[in-house]
Structure 1
Amino acid sequence: MTTDPREIKVAVLDLYNGIENQGMRGFDEILRRFKSDKNLNLTWQVFNVRQKNELPGMEFDLYISSGGPGNPLTEDEEWDKRYMQLIDELEAWNNSDTTPKKHVLFVCHSFQLLCRKYKLGEISLRRSPSFGILPVHFVNGGESDPAMAGLADPFYAVDSRSWQVVHPDEQAFEKIGAKLLAIEKERPYVDLPRAMMAIRFNKYFIGTQFHPEANPEGMKLHLLNAEKKQQVIDEHGEHKYNEMLERLDHPEMLLHTQRTLIPNFLREAVEEVLGKESVICKS
């Protein structure tokens, strides 16, 4: 356990546009637990990106960019332009001789924005929304990525999206040195492409199209809401709804993912700030 007194500043970019969600609670929970477990001087500030056009500067050590509702094809909106400017600045920082480097995690809607930026695949509206605790499968040795260490193949995560990124463009991946790490479950009975679920965009940028911040308690509250329950049953059937509730009681599924992927990301990012000699990576 580290006792390094240096402040480590995290910028949390809220892309939910004022919509009630469990995602921001999940990030807060993980950051609080990580700070306590590692005895870190870790602080974080939330920026309401889409609703209030709030964006951080370059003074933060690492960045977490959330999921959010709706269409990711928002190039003409002012917040989107400023968001992409921030990404360009972070990328320039990491490509320069300046240290320490700044790690960024992109979740769901943010993942889709990055895929749009780098033209890594086709972004389209799904035939029907995807929602549930679903298996995610590694590809291309994705399980060896530092952020994925300790996850099984497949592992389980919350998938909640109406839009998707499919059909990876191999030339675009090669151009920026990106690597596809995981894809959604195989559905041999459905003739539809499998969505890209995790990408290492570069050494310091990683993203997931699922929600690694989701926890069983928050998900259960979400599912037990009468309106959400009926929505899930209408879209997926009562059997699928009951299966989701059952999976919440298995800690090796959703809880394991929540306590693995983002803490792995944080450990790598904090080690970057404190130095390779930091014992945080071993604790």
Structure 2
Amino acid sequence: MNTDKPEVRVAILDLYDGVANEGMRGFRDILDRYKAQHGLDLSYQTFDVRRKAQVPDTSFDVYISSGGPGSPLDSEGTEWEKKYFRLIDKLEKHNRSDAPQKKHVFFVCHSFQLMCRKYGFGDINTRRSPSFGILPVHLTEAGRNEEVFEGLADPFYTVDSRSWQVINPDMERFKELGMEILALEKERPYVDLPRAIMAIRFNEYFFATQFHPEADAHGIKTMLLREDKKKEVINEHGESKYREMLERLDDPDKIAHTQSTIIPNFLDEAILSFCHAER
């Protein structure tokens, strides 16, 4: 380990409300791998935001806010959400200050939806049917120039698992706040429905995806091969969709590539700027 590198502290905000999931392990695996690859003095701490109303302070260097179950609307006014948004407001205030070391945050799925509600970006509603699978995500023009997506194909494949969606963006609101839509869900020419927003850059330091870039092929495959999960997926989506998911998990250019690209690129952006600020 390089002793001349500064300590980097990452806060993982767990919004799963105690529900078993693959996401938290995915974040830890990415951070452990990144730490080893770069020889960093990197540590992370997990906060149980929804179940225990645990929220970190602003002393961490990087924040990752997870997905989670349930409605992104029903939590409005709850104590945990008030604390969560107070943290976001403090981080935004810090980033607007002249402090040299900025706070970078990555928001995933449920967190993405909460942030879209906070900013009033569009409609948030339930999908006609849940989205679940290894699905293509299409880049916008802004997304094709986005450094966090550098190295990805267009479209690229990722794990999409959600019953809720953010659609019908208020483009005037985006323009007003200087924020950009970076990706949209797969094209469905046979369905007359709006495409969900799949990635947004809120500002120089806040990045969000409505899909799960932390998902890894091995973990998802292990889950899908469980008899209970196999039955659940086949009952909901059909045998052919189940087989398609298993095939896509074995493709190194799909989930494995996405997992090894997006969050590591974000960490490069966050941690390299942090290390430069420390010098």
TM-score category (smaller protein): over 0.9
Provide the rounded CA distance (Å) in 1 between the counterparts of 2:15 and 2:209. Answer: 15
Cα deviation for residue 226 of structure 1 reads 1.8
Say what the alpha-carbon RMSD is for the aligned residues: 1.4
Paired AA for residue 220 in structure 1: K
1:108·1:209 contact (CA, 8 Å) conserved in 2?
yes
Determine the structure 1 residue equivalent to 2:201: 200
Determine the structure 2 residue equivalent to 1:173: 174
Is 1:39 the counterpart of 2:39? The answer is: yes
Q: Deviations over 1:34-89 (max 9, x none)?
A: 00000000000000000010000011001000000000011111101110110000
2:167·2:196 contact (CA, 8 Å) conserved in 1?
yes
2:6·2:278 contact (CA, 8 Å) conserved in 1?
no
Cα deviation for residue 183 of structure 1 reads 0.3
Superposed, which structure 2 residues align to 1:1-283 within 5 Å? 4-73=4-73, 74-275=75-276
1:183·1:198 contact (CA, 8 Å) conserved in 2?
yes
Which sections of structure 1, spanning at least 5 residues, go unmatched? 279-283
Provide the rounded CA distance (Å) in 2 between the counterparts of 1:208 and 1:244. Answer: 20
Determine the structure 2 residue equivalent to 1:281: none
Provide the rounded CA distance (Å) in 2 between the counterparts of 1:193 and 1:4. Answer: 50
Paired AA for residue 254 in structure 1: I
Cα deviation for residue 192 of structure 1 reads 1.1
1:4·1:41 contact (CA, 8 Å) conserved in 2?
no
Cα deviation for residue 174 of structure 1 reads 1.1
Distance 1:69 1:104, change over 3 A: same
Provide the rounded CA distance (Å) in 2 between the counterparts of 1:133 and 1:259. Answer: 16
Provide the rounded CA distance (Å) in 2 between the counterparts of 1:84 and 1:241. Answer: 38
1:181·1:197 contact (CA, 8 Å) conserved in 2?
yes
Provide the rounded CA distance (Å) in 1 between the counterparts of 2:264 and 2:278. Answer: 18
What SS does the aligned partner of 2:252 have?
coil
Provide the rounded CA distance (Å) in 1 between the counterparts of 2:81 and 2:278. Answer: 38
TM-score of the aligned structures, taking structure 1 as reference length: 0.96
Identity %: 60
**Total equivalences in the alignment:** 278
Q: Deviations over 1:137-174 (max 9, x none)?
A: 00123021111111110000000001000111101111
Which sections of structure 2, spanning at least 5 residues, go unmatched? none
Paired AA for residue 12 in structure 1: I
- Tell me which moved more, 228-237 or 63-72: 228-237
Cα deviation for residue 4 of structure 1 reads 3.3
